[in-house]
Amino acid sequence: MNVESVYPKVKQILVDVLFIEEEQVALDKRLIADLGAESIDFLDLVFQLEKEFDIKIPRGQLEKNARGSLSEQEFEENGMVTERGMQALREYFTELPADQFPNTLKISEIPSLFTVETFCKVIIDAQQKAASQAV
């Protein structure tokens, strides 16, 4: 399972959920800044993705994936992402150019980094976890 295999379905769900044209959707597009998504759209998007791919995406899973092996204390301090946390975000959001990362970031602003590819990666991760638990 790879990004290219899940992207067509993710793209179609984004078109349906956000009421946008297919041509607007690309892997590197940020959901909020580029595609006009709002926080309420994320709920519908996650629901549709879970249904389509028969997976579960727990609340906070995207942030947890982006945090990687860092503990919460290493990742965040007083509601702000730490320097080590920013490095983890840069490593996770490889599809984003460096200039799209702010110098400082509130935890509540992490969704502003979410791209179409981010959701493809979350689906792949969820499918791999489900497959490994089924064995």
Check the CA dihedral 81-86-87-93 and report its sign.
positive
pLDDT at 63: 84
Phi, psi at 101, each rounded to 5°: -95, 125
Domain range summary for the chain, segments of one domain joined by +: 3-126
More confident residue, 6 or 130: 6
pLDDT at 64: 86
> What is the per-residue pLDDT across 28-60, written as a single tens digit (0 to 9) for each?
999 999 999 998 999 999 999 999 999 999 888
Just give the CATH number of 3-126: 1.10.1200.10
Answer yes or no: are the C-beta atoms of 90 and 98 closer than 8 Å.
yes
Give 80's pLDDT tier (boundaries 50, 70, 90): very high
pLDDT at 70: 95
* Residue owning tokens 């497959």: 131
The answer on pLDDT for 134 being more than 80 is: no
What is the pTM for the complete model shown? 0.87
